[in-house]
Amino acid sequence: MSTDASPARVVADADVLAADLLVGGASRAALDHVRRHSWMTLVASDALLDDAAAVITRLADAALASDWRARCAVWREPVDHPTGDHPGLASAYRGGAMHLLSFDERLGSARAGASLQGHVPLSVRPPQAFATLFDAESLYLEVVGGDYPGPDCDPRG
């Protein structure tokens, strides 16, 4: 792993990134937690953004996907990983993210968890679970320290 793991570092799989843009709901709620706090980081490889842009192109159009990708490329912290690796898992591992948000039930299965255990401290869960369980105050205390000042960023900004 190239970066120390932190619970303030999050990866959203391509399906969650596309749903954030096109649907809203739990995906938007989960990623808004990240966007509202300057001390939180979205980690994503170029391959992960390419996968999400392909989904957006398929479901909407190429212009929207291109605009989204350009905006997301500025917001995320880039990470590299070998070609052929699962973009979400590899982004989390290489980027020190302790949370991977995904709708892919295989990634959140007990079998996948057992495979990851001991290799990477990673929680894979659907965005609804992350959005529901996210506790900014206690996470701030753990990651930054001191009194939680509240959100410091506009999630639509």
Residues in the chain: 157
Residue 1, pLDDT score: 47
Q: Does domain 6-143 have CATH number 3.40.47.10?
A: no
Residue 111 is predicted with a pLDDT of 59
User: Buried b vs exposed e over 6-18: b needs ≥16 C-beta within 10 Å?
Assistant: bebbbbbbbbbbb
98-148 pLDDT tens trace: 999 999 877 655 554 545 565 566 889 999 999 999 999 999 999 999 999
Name the percent of the chain lying above pLDDT 90: 78
**pLDDT tens-digit profile of 52-99?**
999 999 999 999 999 999 999 999 999 999 999 989 999 999 999 999
Beta-strand relationship, 77-78 and 97-101 = unpaired
Question: Where are the domains positioned within the chain?
Answer: 6-143
